[in-house]
Amino acid sequence: MPSATTVRLATRGSDLARQQATTVKATLDSRRREVTLTEVDTRGDQIRDELIHRLGKTGAFVRALDEEVLNGDLDAAVHSLKDMPTEMPEKLVVAAVPERAPSGDVLVTPDGSDIDTLPEGAVVGTSSLRRKAQLLAVRPNLEVVALRGNVDTRVEKLLAPSLQREHQARLEAVGKLAEMVGDGETAPDSKTEDADGDDTENADSRRC
């Protein structure tokens, strides 16, 4: 059973979310705090066949975690900063912002094609409206379609030789693919500039 000094961290259950939460846990561990991780299922995780901007509410990936903190069941939650709404509950505060992961976007392809060599009409998947707009500004003759699902699963499906591919490429945040990307072309910063908060996580907790 956790002691009175144990910090109970809420995290989503995806591989990426757990990796981010583990980074925060390691930092707290190094500062003489015992830390436990608890997975919390969110609305964004439950509804996998709908695009995020169509779910109808902000905070699809953070609300359930924050409720655990507000209820006192957990002490803090680890979020990707881009998932957080612009207004937080009054009783919560951003307690820490860890070092940002590498920024930028990466085009992932199974054959090493880059933005310039993708054939006309090639289908590119992405979960970001920003990335879609920026890619079409550079290559208006591509077809860009929306994606849902965990980034690791999306990339595995693209690179698996035995599967029928729905897309010729995927456009992802480079920070999320730092340990996964094989062949691919990093998009120039001038063409795919990040939105604030991409590849940044933070821990929020209750105000004292």
Catalytic residues: 83
Asked if residue 171 lies in contact with residue 124, where contact means CB atoms within 8 angstroms, the answer is yes
Residue in 30, 27, 154 with CA at minimum distance from that of residue 78: 27
Structure tokens at 117: 């060599």
Residue in 80, 74, 75 with CA at minimum distance from that of residue 60: 80
Residue 106 φ/ψ, nearest 5 degrees: -135, 135
Residue in 144, 131, 139, 134 with CA at minimum distance from that of residue 174: 131
In whole angstroms, give the CA distance from residue 197 to residue 173: 11
Bridging pattern class, strands 92-96 and 201-206: antiparallel
Cα 196–Cα 140–Cα 128 angle in degrees, nearest 5: 30
